[in-house]
Amino acid sequence: MSIYSFQQLIGQERAKTILRHSLERGRISHAYLFVGPSGTGKRTLALAFAAALNCLADQRPCGSCRNCRRIDEGNHPDVTVLEPEGRSFKIDQIRQVQQLISLKPYEARSKIFILDGAEALTEQAANSLLKTLEEPPPYSVLILLADDSALLPTITSRCTLVHFQPLPQETVEEYLRQRGIVEAAEIAAASGGSIGKALHLAEIWPEVSEAVQTFLELVRSDQAWKINAGIYSRFKENQEFRRYFLELCEQKYKTTSVSALTAIHAAREMLKANVGPDAVLRSLAIRLAGDQRSAN
């Protein structure tokens, strides 16, 4: 069985139903826009849909025919997945899509293009893509994956919109427990309902949780000045560490202190404004220590 089956995607029943109905009725849109938080299965379902469109069996996707296997392995000539180059999709990437889409499928019924991270389309690239959406070849299907729907309205209006929702925390926790992850409850709480994020967080959880525990113990005992260089170094050098560090701090204060949550939010805004991470962490420590003193 291919990993890209509808059944193996956890949750997202409404999204799966929309695509199943399209397949059953033979009414395939020339373009879809999958919108939802990162790690909620947009790419997995896009590949499952690509396999279903080109599957050679009656029950699609079967996961075992030539087309399903090649899509599963990532080497089917008629299924192309593109990601942003750097921080954005460049117009040259869209021109590449336009060149490839003008050619008929080599082996499959449908030629599929998946743009993962479509919210990163530059205005120039989006306008170029619009031309393809207005006059698509009959054999082509474009699937745009975006964390939010803040795309050009002209693009959104030409796509079938499929929403992806964060999963319930209990669902994520159970998924992690089935994989033997001891800290399933804590990781699920910090995952924002994203299986993908939870799995990634599980990999770095020991490092982040230890750093947060040390940081908060010192802050709460009014010894923020003792925070060691190792924590500052990891916070400064690793963007993912910063993100999960702040999310775990937020989780620790979620039900106890509004002012602490405000301080954590301010730290995120400082990072967005390109304030140095070491200065951000120092500021957060000072504000949390002040909050602790006020509470005592």
Per-residue pLDDT at 291? 73
pLDDT at 174 over 80: yes
**Domain shared by 159 and 201, yes or no:** no
Q: What is the pLDDT of residue 60?
A: 81
Report helix, strand or coil for 226.
helix
pLDDT at residue 79 is higher than 90? yes
- 143-156 residue pLDDT tens: 999 987 667 787 88
For residue 39, give both structure tokens: 């790690």
The reported pTM is 0.79
Say how far apart CA 194 and CA 67 lie, in whole Å: 29
Is residue 3, in this structure, part of any structural domain at all?
no
Do the domain assignments include residue 7? Answer: no
Please tell me whether residues 135 and 20 are part of one structural domain. yes
Of all residues in the chain, what percent carry a pLDDT higher than 70? 96
Tell which of 163, 187, 206 closes a domain: 163
Structural domain containing residue 186:
169-295
The reply to whether 84 and 200 lie within a common domain is no
> Is 271 part of a structural domain of the chain?
yes
CATH of the domain at 97: 3.40.50.300
4 occurs within a structural domain: no
Is 39 contained in some domain? yes
Question: 178 and 140, same structural domain?
Answer: no
Whether residues 134 and 186 fall in one domain: no
User: Residue 286 in contact with residue 224, Cβ under 8 Å?
Assistant: yes
* Residue 46 reports pLDDT greater than 90: yes
| Residue 36 main-chain phi, psi, to 5 deg | 170, 170
Q: Kindly state whether residues 91 and 197 are assigned to the same domain.
A: no
Q: What is the pLDDT of residue 246?
A: 92
Tell me: do 174 and 145 sit in the same domain.
no
Percent pLDDT > 90 in the chain is 45
Q: What are the CA-CA distances from residue 137 to residues 64, 100, 181, 232 (Å)?
A: 28, 11, 47, 53
pLDDT at 132 over 70: yes
On whether both 79 and 125 belong to a single domain, the answer is yes
Residues 158 and 177 in one domain: no
Task: Give, in order, the Cα–Cα distances in Å from 140 to each of 35, 50, 115, 118.
Answer: 20, 11, 14, 18
Mean pLDDT for the chain overall:
88
Q: Number of structural domains, the chain?
A: 2
Q: Are residues 26 and 149 in the same domain?
A: yes
pLDDT at 149: 66
- Same domain, residue pair 111 and 175: no
Residues 35, 134: one domain? yes
